[in-house]
């Protein structure tokens, strides 16, 4: 997770990750457990504070490449999110600026033009470009803020600063959601999944399991996500994409 890591990297074997934990048997046991369950690869994101948003966006678009029949509903959800932002008094031009790169990639899924159709390789290239990748991250941050404001009563009891003092939604978002580089906590994760109607599954690689197993947490929107779960792996302070071999 060093400073020179790309914003997102090509899939790599879990054995590479395992090699980073030589001398940490509790982590090794958990990684072995994941591999025994068929989780064979990891897509790494840069540890720049934006890893959750970038990993989720990449996993989401990758799932559309695999299932282009979901594009129509994905576009509808994204457009609905833009409407929610406008209702929360966000500038329409700003919303459009940050939403456009995401919509362009969604539109490219299943394109009849083979030179334009989104593939996993083209998706990776797009996410390695600073402008495209960070525009998408910013859009997701704005969407998270809009969701927290739109359902503020649902989040009111969970918004705190670093010292444990409660914050109003507007101040929480100003400090912990809107700025690039601010890590996502459970509130942001749950709010974004709700806004995008996504089901995600997070594997916690923390070295704390007494039996060497990995705890998985499922996060679903209130009415259930229509997608197969997007699988992320969390290590203290960092998210990557986890890939299971069928």
- Listed in sequence order, the residues at least 6 apart from 64 whose beta carbon sits closer than 8 Å to its beta carbon are 70, 71, 74, 106, 109, 118
Measure the CA–CA gap between 55 and 145, rounded to whole angstroms. 18
Catalytic-labelled residue, pool 99, 173, 238, 240? 238
Residue with tokens 């919509």: 103
- Concerning whether 238 is annotated as a catalytic residue, the answer is yes
Residue 184 has, within 13 A of its CA and on its CB side, a CA count of: 28
DSSP labels for 138-168? HHHHHHHHHHHHHTHHHHGGG-B-TTS-B--
Q: Where are the alpha helices (DSSP H) in 67-185?
A: 71-87, 92-108, 120-127, 130-150, 152-155, 169-176
Q: How many angstroms separate the CA atoms of 84 and 150, rounded?
A: 8
C-alpha distances in Å from residue 231, one per residue of 45, 142, 188, 217: 14, 23, 17, 10
Terminal CA-CA length for the chain:
28
Point out the catalytic residue in the list 32, 48, 178, 185: 48
Can 99 be counted among the known catalytic residues? Answer: no
Q: State yes or no: is 51 an active-site residue.
A: yes
Torsion angle in degrees (nearest 10) through CA of 92, 168, 196, 236: 120
Q: How many CB atoms lie within 10 A of CB 3?
A: 7
List the catalytic residues: 48, 51, 238
């Amino acid at each position: 997770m060093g400073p020179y890591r790309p914003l997102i990297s090509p899939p790599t074997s879990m054995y590479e990750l395992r090699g980073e934990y030589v001398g940490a048997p509790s982590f090794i046991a958990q990684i072995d457990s994941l591999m025994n369950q068929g989780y064979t690869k990891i897509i790494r994101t840069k540890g720049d504070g934006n890893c959750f948003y970038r990993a989720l966006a990449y996993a989401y678009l990758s799932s559309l490449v695999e299932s282009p029949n979901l594009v129509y509903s994905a576009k509808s959800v994204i457009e609905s999110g833009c409407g929610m932002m406008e209702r929360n008094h966000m500038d329409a031009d700003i919303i459009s600026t940050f939403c456009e790169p995401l919509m362009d990639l969604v539109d490219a899924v299943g394109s009849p033009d083979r030179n334009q159709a989104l593939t996993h390789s083209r998706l990776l290239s797009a996410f390695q470009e600073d402008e495209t990748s960070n525009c998408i991250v910013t859009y997701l941050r704005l969407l998270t803020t809009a969701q927290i404001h739109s359902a503020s009563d649902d989040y009111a009891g969970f918004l705190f600063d670093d010292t444990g003092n409660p914050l109003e939604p507007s101040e929480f978002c100003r400090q912990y959601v809107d700025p690039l580089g601010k890590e996502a906590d459970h509130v942001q994760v749950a709010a974004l999944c709700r806004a995008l109607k996504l089901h995600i599954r997070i594997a916690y690689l923390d070295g704390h399991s007494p039996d060497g197993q990995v705890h998985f947490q499922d996060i679903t929107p209130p009415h259930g996500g229509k997608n197969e779960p997007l699988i992320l792996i969390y290590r203290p302070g960092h998210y990557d994409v986890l890939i299971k071999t069928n």
